[in-house]
Amino acid sequence: MKILALDTSSTACSVALYVNGTITSLHRVAPMQQTNLLLPMIEEILAGARVTLAELDAIAYGTGPGSFTGMRIASSTTQGLAFAANLPVIPVSSLAAIAQAAQMSDGALNQAYLVAVDARMGQIYWGYYTTDNTGHVTLAGEETVCFPADATLAEPKAPNYAGVGDGWQPYGEILCQALGFKPNTINPAQLPTAEAILKLSLNYFKQNKQISATEALPSYLIKR
């Protein structure tokens, strides 16, 4: 199996490739540079693995929410590549990718991830993810956009919590007050990565969650 994954929903430009069990990735934090970097990075990673676009089984991308411009870059690039090679697409939430990237970093299986990304205008994109025994994160409840004071937790509860995403930097105190506790760890610097998207997309591919290129759109959460 061969899957290409990409994400530009944050300040990073991130690309990863899975080829029959081997993973390679490129991840560069370069705000406002994703338009210039994404296609060359894709070309570099495919050339390094000696894989052509036509040999891929699917393309996975970070749908957002996140940077509006970044989401459009990822979705339009995915659409163009998938159309050109007649490939299915695997959409992956960028909030899920933040949680998965954190899990891949800390390796915890009994930890839940509280993802808060700054949505501007005093609001956050919010998602609560639990971890299964294979190390994959799963959304509990719904992703939403809300004021930090309105952040809530869906069941089930977890023994350990980690707060991740840049929304924890300005709104950490308000979030802790809203939740009634402080997470065991807080990492506002955690970004989504294409490698995390790749891990989730491999699982989604097995579950037949592919979509067509025409459906590869950004995920805009409607602000309340």
Model pLDDT for residues 117-141, shown as the tens digit of each residue: 999 999 999 999 999 999 999 999 9
Per-residue model confidence (pLDDT) at position 223: 54
Per-residue model confidence (pLDDT) at position 221: 80
Q: What is the pLDDT of residues 166-181, one digit of tens each?
A: 999 999 999 999 999 9
CB 47 within 8 A of CB 181: no
Per-residue model confidence (pLDDT) at position 154: 84
Instruction: Look up the CATH superfamily of 98-187.
Output: ATPase, nucleotide binding domain (3.30.420.40)
Q: How confident is the model at residue 220 (pLDDT cuts 50, 70, 90)?
A: confident
Answer yes or no: is pLDDT of 224 > 50: no
Angle at 200 between CA 61 and CA 80, to 5 degrees: 20
- 118 φ, ψ to 5°? -60, 120
Per-residue model confidence (pLDDT) at position 46: 98
Same fold for the pair 2-93+192-215 and 98-187: yes
Q: Is 21 exposed, middle or buried (0-12, 13-18, 19+ CB in 10 A)?
A: exposed
The residue extents of the domains of the chain are 2-93+192-215, 98-187
Percentage of the chain beyond pLDDT 70 is: 98
Answer yes or no: is pLDDT of 182 > 50: yes
Distance CA 23, CA 106 (A): 19
Q: What is the pLDDT of residues 30-83, one digit of tens each?
A: 999 999 999 999 999 999 999 999 999 999 999 999 999 999 999 999 999 999
Write the CB contacts of 144 (distance below 8 Å, at least 6 apart in sequence).
125, 126, 127, 221, 224
Per-residue model confidence (pLDDT) at position 91: 98
CATH number of 2-93+192-215: 3.30.420.40
What is the average pLDDT value for the chain, to the nearest integer? 95
Residues 210, 212, 214, 215: what is their CA dihedral angle, to the nearest 10 degrees?
A: -30
Distance CA 98, CA 23 (A): 18
